[in-house]
Amino acid sequence: MAQEQIWTELVRQAQKGRKEDMNKLAREAEGRLCAYIYRVTLNYDLVQDISQEVLLQMVKSLNHLKSVESFWPWLYRIAQSKIQEHYRAKYKKSPAYGSAFYKEFLSQRAKYHQEDGLSQLLQKELSKKVVVAMKQIKQQYRAVLSLRCFEQLSYSEIAVAMECSKVRARVLFYRAKQALKRQMTHQGLKKGLLLMCLGLFGRLTAPARAATVTVSASSVKVGVMTAVIATAGTKLGIATVTAAAVGLATMGGISVLSEPPLPKRSDVKSINYTTQLRDTSQGPTSSLSKGAYEQWFSCPDGIDGPLFMRMQRWDAQQTNKLCSWLENGEGNYYYYCTDNKVYINNYRVFWSSLRVRRLPTDTAEFTNYLSEIEGDLSGVEYTRDSQTGLLRNALDDRFVEARNFRTDYNYNTLNERLFEYDWSEDIAVIDERDRMHKRGWTYFRINGKTNNQTISATGQIPFVYNASKKHPAWLRLKIGNELEIIDCNNGACLRRVDGTVIAAYPAGTFFKGLLRPWMGMHTIDIIRRDAARRRVAFKTRPARNEKDVIIIVYYEDERVNTELVYGIDLENDIIEDIRFETRNRIIGSLVFSYLQDIEQAGNEFIEPVIPESPEVPIRNGPGILWLVDLAQGNLGK
């Protein structure tokens, strides 16, 4: 029976619940698993811990494996996830300084291999250069090289292990080879020695009593088209694409250079990309500075719902990790690398330049309107998919230290566990939240006047996604003595105080133009994006105290021009007030207050319920323009 058939049968028997078969599977898999973990991490101290975590997860989840033939890609996917967890928790990538690192490697290798016959080989200068070169490349590159060259997985299997597309797996492998070649030259090794260096590294990191490790020439080939995709945007890539376009543009009338299809916008569940950013403006706070920012987004309820975000700041060359951010269903975390502390904040990330935050899933129409308001980023060229409208890639030529920087937008390739809090327990946590943000939700009041009518409101607001499940947003707003707005989980409506419904709308209609922090963006972005969706102009400027921000929303019609002037508390991520103006005259205002303590909250904060009114059709919501109608006294007319 072939080796793979033996593995397949062993996995099948273990899935039947036989304890002895499960134990045997774990014992047999442990050797290859440890070798893989060691090759990727180059840290002996991690091998046993991670391998035990992977094997434990294997035992718990084996019955969920649908195809026993995919056992190894599936197991390596678990291993890769565990490795990433440990890297995020404890280790940041740093340059390897030849002698010091190699000495540590020798010590680890002696523990790991327990084989004296390699002692002379390990002392050779070539071994030292190979190991240091491997240490210098990204952990992700070591992973894909190990899967392809030492575990001999196909690109389809690597795609499963790395949780990406087959094309992406090929591109990663190509880039890993190129990165390793560059590091080899830095160590004084010729690029033509790639096969020999990979084979030597495999032998140095092989399990004890393993068969001789060989790397075939066929395993390191990726094909011309992969090289074209992987280098596109660089000077080499431009030349390669040009040459390929001449000789390989079409084959039988079918384009050879066609790109892989993207999901429909409505099917997007996650996004990942890296961009170069630099902010030299004097904004209210310096929340971001220069470097490469790798960003991940997850959409638990669809792309138009709440967002989770993770962001890792690198230096411009992406060799050293710096600060990082995590905004998930529980809180807003910021890891400050300088003092090795995690801060939990009231507010979500915003650009210190005060530009509106954009997403690769934003439509061309929406993005173009934002560009009309704020201007384009000169030096950045975006490519949008003609079928889905999603961004495919961008080419950034703004920064000398990162010329022709290419951003590839990857969709639906992420593991949800990436958005869990995973910093090491020995890192100090500084909780800077106030009481209501620690609670995750609170009650609020609105008081004001417009058009000689008194405005009063009560409501409930969740600050994070998880809190929104038990404490959803709701609003009850009274306009004078005649009208009332209700917005809650089961819908929204404008009605008279006697309960007669004038108009019915979808739930959330009257939170447009207001704060919605559980949605995953800062309030300044929520408001401005609400305005842009209705093609309403706006302006953003720092407040006089240089800590807060003023947003002025301009609405023009044939009757009168109306301005909504927002005062935003940046650090608490809330609206303080909204002033209504027309012809440079204040015609009303709303003042918001939030309850830090809710123990004494009275009956005014009982969540309203909208009774079913089948005779009243549900209208499309007016978006932020409901506030313009409120200011002008046109609600209910």
Nearby residues of 637 by Cβ (< 8 Å), 6 or more positions away: none
Which DSSP string do the residues of 16-34 spell out, in sequence order? TT-HHHHHHHHHHHHHHHH
Angle between helix 166-186 and 224-231 (nearest 10): 80
Establish how many alpha carbons lie within 13 A of residue 488's alpha carbon, considering only the half-sphere containing its beta carbon.
Answer: 17
Please report the pLDDT score of residue 228 as a whole number. Answer: 47
Please report the pLDDT score of residue 601 as a whole number. Answer: 86
> CA 419, 286, 398 angle in degrees (round to 5)?
85
Print the SS3 string covering 305-343: CCCEEEEEEECCCCCCEEEEEEECCCCEEEEECCCCEEE
User: Which phi and psi (to 5°) does residue 601 adopt?
Assistant: -65, 135
By the 8 A CB rule, do 498 and 484 touch? no
* 3-state SS class at 117: helix
Please report the pLDDT score of residue 377 as a whole number. Answer: 77
Please report the pLDDT score of residue 216 as a whole number. Answer: 65
Number of Cβ within 10 Å of residue 503's Cβ equals 17
Range 314-319, long-range pairs (CB < 8 A, 24+ positions): 314/274, 315/291, 316/276, 316/290, 316/291, 316/292, 316/399, 316/401, 316/402, 317/292, 317/401, 317/402, 318/138, 318/274, 318/292, 319/93, 319/95
Give the Cα separation of 406 and 398 in Å (integer): 12
Please report the pLDDT score of residue 247 as a whole number. Answer: 40
Fold of 265-431: outer membrane lipoprotein receptor (LolB), chain A (2.50.20)
Within the chain, how many helices (H) and strands (E) appear?
A: 18, 24
Residue 270, amino acid: S
Give, as one character, the DSSP assignment of residue 356.
P
Give the Cα separation of 561 and 49 in Å (integer): 65
Residue 291, amino acid: G
Please report the pLDDT score of residue 260 as a whole number. Answer: 67
Please report the pLDDT score of residue 249 as a whole number. Answer: 39
Please report the pLDDT score of residue 546 as a whole number. Answer: 75
Which DSSP string do the residues of 175-205 spell out, in sequence order? HHHHHHHHHHHHTT--GGGHHHHHHHHHHHT
Cα 448 from chain centre: 39
Give the Cα separation of 182 and 132 in Å (integer): 12
* Range(s) of the chain covered by CATH 2.50.20: 265-431, 436-632
Q: Which residues of the chain have pLDDT under 70?
A: 1-4, 87-125, 207-214, 216-260, 279-289
* 3-state SS class at 389: coil
* 3-state SS class at 155: helix
pLDDT by residue (tens digit) across 539-554?
999 998 878 999 999 9
**What is the dihedral sign for C-alpha 616, 532, 570, 542?**
negative
Q: For 436-632, which CATH class?
A: mainly beta
